Chains A and B, each alone.
Chain A
Amino acid sequence: GESVGLHLPTLSVQEGDNSIINCAYSNSASDYFIWYKQESGKGPQFIIDIRSNMDKRQGQRVTVLLNKTVKHLSLQIAATQPGDSAVYFCAENIGGGGADGLTFGKGTHLIIQP
C-alpha cells in the first residue's frame, strides 16, 4: 500500500505486506529529516532519520528515501505487523541545525488489517 503526499490521511494495508508512506517537504534548505511513529495517547517515537547528504538509509524493517530534487521523502515498512498501526509523521529541520526545531507534515494513519 502507498500513501500520496500529505493529502491521504489514512493508509490501510494487509498484515505482512509492505507499506510506503510519502511526504512532500517544503523547504529546500532543510538538511535533516526524521520519521516518527505516534500511537494514541503517546508522544512521537523516533523511527529513522536521514541527512541531506544521503538519499537512502535503512533500519530494522524500515527504509527512508530522500529525493531532494522534488523535495520528497518516503518511509518504507517491510512485512507490516499489527504493532505498526499508528500515525506516522515526517519532520524536517529548517535552518541546518536541530536547535531550530522541527516542522512536521500532516501525518498518515497506518492501519494494519489482519
Chain B
Amino acid sequence: DTEVTQTPKHLVMGMTNKKSLKCEQHMGHRAMYWYKQKAKKPPELMFVYSYEKLSINESVPSRFSPECPNSSLLNLHLHALQPEDSALYLCASSQDSRGDGYTFGSGTRLTVV
C-alpha cells in the first residue's frame, strides 16, 4: 500500500458544527502532516507530527485541533469554523525526518456555510 487515504472527500459544515477529517497510511511512515490549500494557491503547512508527537504548529487557530491516535492515523478536528476556512485540506506522510517518500492524499474539500 503506497497511498495516503483521506476521508471524507467532500464535507459541508455549518459554523456551529463539529466535524473531523481523517487520514490513514500503511507505509510505515513516522511523520505525518496537515496542509491547507486555497483555490489557485500552493499548499500551506498547518501541523507536523513526528513519531506520533506534535512537533510543529504553524500558528493555526485553535478551532483546528489535530490528533495522532497511532502511527498510521491522523485526524483534524474542526469546531466553530468560519467561511474563510473553506479550502482543500491535504494530509501527507513521509518515511522519516529525511523526508523520503513524501506522499500526499487526495484531500478533503471543505465548505463552511
Contacts and interface: CB of A to CB of B under 8 A. Distances in A.
A26 to B, nearest CB: 13
A89 B42 contact: yes
B90 A44 contact: yes
A45 B43 CA distance: 13
A104 B103 contact: no
A45 B103 CA distance: 7
Interface in A55-95: 89, 93
B90 A43 contact: yes
Contact of B45 (A36, A45, A49, A101): A101
A44 B104 contact: yes
Contacts of B94: 98-99
A17 to B, nearest CB: 25
Interface residues of B, number: 29
Interface string B67-107: 00000000000000000000000100011111110111111
A16 interface: no
B90 A98 contact: no
A97 B6 CA distance: 24
Contacts of B56: 100-101
The size class of the interface chain A forms with chain B is 20 to 34
A107 B6 CA distance: 23
A42 B106 contact: yes
Given A99-B50, A99-B97, A46 B103 contact: yes
B99 A45 contact: no
A4 interface: no
B21 interface: no
A24 interface: no
Interface of A: 32, 34, 36, 41-46, 49, 89, 93, 97-107
Given A36-B104, A97-B98, A102-B99, 9 more contacts: A43-B4, A43-B6, A49-B102, A93-B99, A98-B94, A98-B102, A99-B55, A101-B58, A106-B42
Name the 6 nearest CB pairs between A and B, nearest first: A98-B99, A104-B42, A97-B97, A101-B45, A43-B104, A98-B94
